[in-house]
Amino acid sequence: METKLFSSSFTIRGSSLSGKRLENQTCFKTLTCTTGSVHTKVESSVQLSRGKICAPVRIKQEVLHVPSNRLRIFSGTANPSLSQLLEADVYGCSDLVSHSCSFYLYTKEVASYMGLDLGKIYIDRFADDEVYVQLQESVRGCDVFLVQPTCRPVNDNYMELFIMIDACVRASARSVTAVIPYFGYARADRKNQGREAISAKIMANMITVAGTTRILTCDLHSAQSLGYFDIPVDHVSAEPVILDYLASKKISWNDLVVVSPDVGGVARARGFAKKLNDAPLAIVDKRRHGHNVSEVMNLIGDVKGKVAIMVDDIIDTAGTITNAATLLHQEGAQAVYACATHAVFSPPAIERLSGGLFQEVIVTNTIPVPEEKNFPQLTVLSVGNLLAEAILRIQDDGSVSTMFQ
């Protein structure tokens, strides 16, 4: 029987980031694979002392998931790119070549981790830009997961998501879960001034009314947005993906300082610092004078001679994070890393981020990053396996929160 390997990882628990010889550490190698129809995780471990194996290999095999014939996953056409003509294969419709989707590869990764093929769906635009959606396979009695980040063009992608949800409901799907890696309008989650709308609440209402039974999203701008939904919301974090990547860097624990680029992100940065061996925390005091305009005023904490890791949920125009990086260098920081989940990258973000202030800019692919927005310091990490694991646990009525313990 054929075995397909979908993912593998190698981690060292209890080691430092200094790159020194490993002493009395445990090395774990994890393989995720499918044999026949059974999705399994195999973990092997060895005990190291002074860089040599001193304990026998232990192997643990766990059945994660048996793919259900009731599970379906579909992709929207978020973030179109005319450079990738993939829709003829995705949707089974050559007419969609003119509406190619760079998000296909990301959603394909999610489906592959689960041992599934993407569902066939036809999405098109009429001459007046109205959206047309037709499922190309039966979903009657199925649990459907619709993957659609609501990035630019935000309103178009939201409307496409609403119509996809309605198509599934009218096709008698048993449940419809909207997988929204990036939740548009999430920053409009409160009233800062009189007579303002709370747009995040409006989006939550519209998704619910369309017929969604559950939401799966990643790193909302603030946790209070979870209360805007009257349906279950599974909120996952890309933090483990970024932490695993930072663990591969040869940075000493003693040289690290985690920085919040504004006061509103202190809780996020504090949690991040605890997982980096309880690294010290610094805070940038920022005063905002208008939308997408910020000014750095003061630094709380010590960064002199240290490697500063700035943590945020979104990089939009990059004004906040570049102003903060300028201040950190003025205060004597050895190097500055920028870490964020969502790479919105509105102009002039690329010019600011590639200007030499950052050693590295680390983001995830919750929003697909087109080729023209790449620059030498940029690293894009995938959250495909993270979301796929969450989908499997939702489908099997398992715990999602234990993924982050």
Question: Is 233 found in the same domain as 248?
Answer: no
Same domain as 263, residue 185: no
Mean pLDDT of 230-241: 96
Range of the domain at 37: 3-65
The pLDDT score that the predictor gives to residue 280 is 96
Q: What is the pLDDT of residue 110?
A: 84
405 lies in some domain = no
Confidence of residue 376 (pLDDT cuts 50, 70, 90): very high
Res 69 pLDDT > 60: yes
pLDDT bin (cut points 50, 70, 90) of residue 46 is very low
- Per-residue confidence (pLDDT) for residue 221, from 0 to 100: 92
* From 5-19, 261-275, 352-366, the region with the lowest mean pLDDT: 5-19
Most confident of 25-29, 83-87, 195-199: 195-199
Asked if the model's pLDDT at residue 50 lies above 80, the reply is: no
Q: What local confidence, expressed as pLDDT, does residue 116 receive?
A: 85
Give 309 or 104, the one with higher predicted confidence.
Answer: 309
Residue range 25-53: average pLDDT? 50
pLDDT, mean over the chain? 81
Quick one: 228 and 275 in the same domain?
Answer: no
Q: Cα torsion at 395, 396, 400, 405 (round to 10°)?
A: -150
In a domain, 304, yes or no: yes
pLDDT for the residue 405: 78
Domain presence at residue 402:
no
In a shared domain, residues 51 and 131: no
Q: Is the pLDDT of residue 306 over 70?
A: yes
Count of domains for the chain: 3
Q: How far apart are CA 9 and CA 12, in angstroms?
A: 10
Kindly report the pTM of this predicted structure.
0.78
Torsion-angle region of 185 (φ positive above 0: left; ψ -120 to 50: alpha; else: beta)? left
Same domain, 175 and 59: no
Both tokens of 368, joined, read 């697909």
pLDDT tens digit string along 107-128? 777 888 888 888 899 999 999 9
pLDDT of residue 76: 87
pLDDT at residue 68, rounded to an integer: 65
Per-residue pLDDT at 272 exceeds 60: yes
Please say if the pLDDT value at position 24 is more than 60.
Answer: no
Closest CA to 182 of 379, 401, 387, 399: 387
Q: Sign (positive/negative) of CA torsion 4, 108, 399, 174?
A: negative
To the nearest whole percent, how much of the chain has pLDDT over 90?
60
Least trusted range by pLDDT, from 28-42, 57-71, 211-225, 298-312: 28-42
323/336 same-domain check: yes
pLDDT at 325: 96
User: CB–CB of 378/353 below 8 Å?
Assistant: yes
pLDDT on residue 250: 81
Q: pLDDT for 128-169, tens place per residue?
A: 999 999 999 999 999 999 999 899 899 999 999 999 999 999
Of 19, 37, 65, the position where a domain reaches its end is 65
In this structure, are 143 and 271 located in the same domain? no
The CATH number of whichever domain residue 170 belongs to comes to 3.40.50.2020
**Per the domain annotation, does 403 fall within a domain?**
no
Q: How confident is the model at residue 286 (pLDDT cuts 50, 70, 90)?
A: confident
User: Token pair for residue 157?
Assistant: 């992608």
**Domain boundary pick from 47, 65, 83:** 65
- Residue where one domain finishes, among candidates 65, 89, 116: 65
Distance CA 315, CA 249 (A): 22
b/e code 213-252 from CB counts within 10 Å (16+ = b): bbbbbbbbbbeebeebbeeebbbbbbbebbeeebeeeebe
Residue 60 sits in the same domain as residue 145: no
Integer angstrom CA distances of residue 301 from 34, 308, 338: 49, 11, 18
Q: How far apart are CA 190 and CA 200, in angstroms?
A: 8
Same domain, 85 and 231: yes
pLDDT of residue 106: 66
Specify burial of residue 405 (Cβ count, 10 A radius: 0-12, 13-18, 19+). exposed
Instruction: Output the pLDDT for position 8.
Output: 44
Question: Residues 311-337: pLDDT tens digits?
Answer: 999 999 999 999 999 999 999 999 999
Characterize the bridge pairing of strands 71-75 and 121-125: unpaired
CB 121 within 8 A of CB 164: yes
342/353 same-domain check: yes
In this structure, are 267 and 201 located in the same domain? no
Of 34, 35, 15, 38, nearest to 25 by C-alpha is 15
Q: Are residues 58 and 91 in the same domain?
A: no
